[in-house]
Amino acid sequence: MSQVALNVNGIQQKIDSPTDTPLLWVLRDELNLTGTKFGCGASLCGACTVLIDGVASRSCQRPVSSLSGQPIQTIEGLDGKEANAIRAAWRELNVVQCGWCQSGQIVAATALLTKSPAPSDLQIDQAMSGNLCRCGTYSRIKKAIHMAAQTLKSLGQ
Ligand code: FES
Ligand code: FES
């Protein structure tokens, strides 16, 4: 049995899964945090994106043994002004289609705005390029990130 303890969404969790289990499986199967999705399982699609120490990271390729003591945020625990602005813009522009990729998209967009509150198109393309959407919502995602940036600006960011 693993002795790993994870800090997930501000809560310390003792993990029973083997230490080489990827974080995604622990989140979904052990902690019942199913907002983070499985897409490819090979670090290629971004569906499993979470924040690790504030950095957008693929959870399908990170063994839990490498994450002890590092704060992890999933879509369920994403908070703060950037996340709120992103969520509001996503709703306003009806970004979501099937939804499968969207928690990863929202986590990655929140990480981008936290680092760059007024990103250019190029910065958005670079930050979001690893998050694939088979429904092709890319143009709405870009518009929503710009809208969220405007919201942050109006809040005095
Ligand atoms: S499921 Fe992790 S990158 Fe695709
Ligand atoms: S909304 Fe369907 S995969 Fe992105």
Shared domain check, 106 and 63 = no
Ligand positioned closest to the Cα atom of 46:
1
59 CA → ligand 1 middle, Å: 7
Which residue has the CA at smallest separation from atom 4 of ligand 2?
133
Question: pTM score, two decimals?
Answer: 0.96
In short, whether 148's Cβ falls inside 6 Å of ligand 1 is no
User: What is the C-alpha separation between 145 and 125, in angstroms, rounded?
Assistant: 11
Task: Assess whether 18 and 69 both reside in one domain.
Answer: yes
Q: Which of 24, 54, 76 is the last residue of a domain?
A: 76
Domain interval for residue 30: 5-76
Q: What is the pLDDT along the chain (157 residues), one digit of tens a residue?
A: 547 999 999 999 999 999 999 999 999 999 999 999 999 999 999 999 999 999 999 999 999 999 988 999 999 999 999 999 999 999 999 999 999 999 999 999 999 999 999 999 999 999 999 999 999 999 999 999 999 999 999 988 5
- From 95, 97, 142, give the residue whose CB has the most ligand 2 atoms within 8 Å, as the site to mutate: 97
Give the distance (Å) from ligand 1 centre to CA of residue 45: 5
Quick check: 145 and 106 in contact, CB under 8 A? no
- Regarding whether 87 and 23 lie in a shared domain, the answer is no
H-helix or E-strand containing 83? helix 81-92
Domain CATH number, residue 99 = 1.10.150.120
Domain total of the chain: 2
Residue 67 to residue 63: CA distance in whole angstroms: 7
pLDDT, one tens digit per residue, over 37-67 is 999 999 999 999 999 999 999 999 999 999 9
Please report, for the chain, how many H helices and E strands are present, in that order: 5, 5
**Per-residue pLDDT reduced to its tens digit, 62-72:** 999 999 889 99
CATH number of the domain encompassing residue 55 = 3.10.20.30
